[in-house]
């Protein structure tokens, strides 16, 4: 019974380490390939860098947005991600829809902000809509994974853990075989 439990725990540990290694490899490779946050099943994963949308999502969370293409119109209350300028993305809730057609704009507001944002967002600057999927605090890991040191560590550490665990497993299997060989030798003598 004890051996069976140990074998199940051993298999479970190996599986968890292997899955961790694969997930970390996916995160690092996907982050590097996309030049930032990874894409998963057609959704873009974005890191929340400020608390302007708390309590909807917390700083350091990962959120999934559905990319928008072409002319898509949104309604008051929708949460959108848009280009604030050439380098900054913002995710805020639509407070008011202004105009229509070519002049469509959105006045946005962070959930924890007192007042709406100063400038309306052009519909053309919207890159995606928040899907409601959030993983708290994983954004800190994603930002770390995007650094050179983080990318290397997130691939190397799970790999070393898997290698170390394999060595331990092989060593214990060899120890189990050695008493059997000694018994065979003493019986045949």
**CA–CA distance, 163 with 155 (Å, rounded to integer):** 12
8 burial level (CB within 10 Å; 0-12, 13-18, 19+) = exposed
Q: Which domains does the chain have, with CATH numbers?
A: 2-165 (2.10.109.10)
pLDDT digits (tens, 9 = 90+) for 132-168: 888 888 778 777 777 778 767 777 877 788 788 888 8
CA 38 to chain centre: 8
What pLDDT is recorded for position 111? 93
Q: Among residues 133, 137, 136, which one has the least CA distance to residue 79?
A: 133
Q: Among residues 55, 50, 56, 47, which one has the least CA distance to residue 137?
A: 47
pTM (global) more than 0.75: no
Instruction: Write the CA distances from 141 to 42, 65, 76, 121, 175, integer angstroms.
Output: 21, 18, 32, 30, 39
pLDDT category of residue 95 using cuts at 50, 70 and 90: very high
pLDDT digits (tens, 9 = 90+) for 104-129: 899 999 999 999 999 999 888 999 99
| Residue bearing the bigger pLDDT, 178 or 68 | 68
- One-character DSSP codes across 101-140: GGG-EEEEE-TT-SS--SSPEEGGGEEEEEEEEEETTHHH
Q: Among the options 50, 73, 166, 172, which is catalytic?
A: 50
Does 50 participate in catalysis according to the annotation? yes
Q: What are phi and psi of 128, to 5 degrees?
A: -175, 170
**CA–CA distance, 61 with 133 (Å, rounded to integer):** 10
pLDDT digits (tens, 9 = 90+) for 34-82: 555 666 677 888 888 889 999 998 998 889 999 888 767 899 999 999 9
What pLDDT is recorded for position 168? 85
């Amino acid at each position: 019974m004890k051996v069976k439990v140990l074998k199940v725990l051993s298999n479970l540990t190996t599986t968890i380490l292997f899955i961790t290694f694969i997930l970390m490899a996916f995160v690092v490779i996907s982050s590097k390939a996309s030049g930032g946050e990874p894409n998963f099943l057609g959704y873009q994963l974005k890191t929340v860098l400020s608390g302007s949308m708390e309590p909807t999502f917390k700083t350091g969370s990962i959120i999934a947005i559905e990319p928008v293409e072409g002319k898509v119109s949104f309604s008051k209350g929708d949460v959108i991600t848009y280009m604030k300028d050439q380098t900054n993305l913002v995710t805020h809730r639509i407070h008011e829809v202004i105009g229509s057609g070519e002049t469509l704009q959105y006045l946005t507001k962070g959930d924890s902000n007192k007042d709406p944002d100063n400038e309306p967002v052009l519909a053309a600057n919207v890159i995606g809509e928040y899907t409601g999927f959030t993983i708290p605090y994983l954004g800190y890991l994603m930002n770390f994974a995007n650094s050179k040191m983080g990318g290397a560590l997130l691939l190397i550490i799970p790999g070393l853990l898997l290698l170390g665990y394999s060595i331990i497993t092989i060593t214990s299997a060899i120890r189990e075989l050695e008493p059997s060989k000694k018994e065979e030798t003493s019986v045949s003598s």
